Chain A
Amino acid sequence: MSNRERLRRVFREAFELDSGAGTEFAVDVEKTAYRATPEWDSVRHMQLVAAIEIEFDVMLETDDILNMSSFAKAMEILERSDVDMGT
Chain B
Amino acid sequence: MSTWGLEGRVAIVTGASRGIGWATARLMAKDGAHVVLVSRGESGPLEARAAELETQSGCKCLAIVADVASATDVGNVYKRAFAEFRRLDVLVNNAGMLCDGLVGMISEERIARALDVNLAGSIRNLQMAARLMGRTGGGSIINMSSIMGTRGGAGQVVYSTTKAGIIGMTLAAAKELAPKRIRVNAIAPGYIATDMIRGLPEEIQRARLAAIPLGRIGDPEDVAKAILFLASDHAAYITGQVLGVDGGMVI
* Cβ contact of A62, chosen from B79, B82, B127, cutoff 8 A: B127
> Is B175 an interface residue, CB under 8 A from the partner?
no
- Interface residues as binary, A32-54 with B (CB distance below 8 Å gives 1, 0 otherwise): 00000000000000100110011
A53 to B78 CA separation, bound complex (whole angstroms): 13
A59 touches B79 (CB 8 A): yes
Q: Could you say which residues of chain B place their CB within 8 Å of the CB of A53?
A: 131, 135
Residue B71 at the chain A interface, CB threshold 8 Å: yes
A61: Cβ under 8 A from any B Cβ: yes
Q: Is the CB of A59 within 8 A of B127?
A: no
Scoring B75, B127, B131 by chain A CB atoms within 10 A of each residue's CB, the highest score goes to B131
Closest to A51 in B: B135
Distance (Å) between the CB of A67 and the closest chain B CB? 15
- B152 at interface by CB-CB < 8 Å: no
Does B165 sit at the interface, judged by CB under 8 A?
no
User: How long is the Cα–Cα vector from A50 to B132 in the complex, in angstroms?
Assistant: 9
Closest to A43 in B: B179
Across the interface, do A59 and B71 meet the contact criterion of CB distance under 8 Å?
A: no
Q: Which residues of B contact A54 (CB under 8 A)?
A: 135
Query: Contact between B134 and A59 (Cβ–Cβ < 8 Å)?
Result: no
**Would you call A61 and B131 a contact (CB within 8 A)?**
no
Report how far A30 CA is from B134 CA in the complex, Å. Answer: 26
Q: Which B residues have a C-beta under 8 Å from some C-beta of A?
A: 71, 75, 78-79, 82, 127, 131-132, 134-135
| Other contacts beyond A49-B131, A62-B75: 16, CB < 8 A | A46-B134, A50-B131, A50-B134, A50-B135, A53-B131, A53-B135, A54-B135, A59-B75, A59-B78, A59-B79, A59-B82, A59-B131, A59-B132, A61-B75, A62-B71, A62-B127
What 10 A-B pairs come out closest when comparing CB atoms? A59-B79, A50-B134, A54-B135, A50-B135, A59-B82, A61-B75, A59-B78, A62-B127, A50-B131, A62-B71
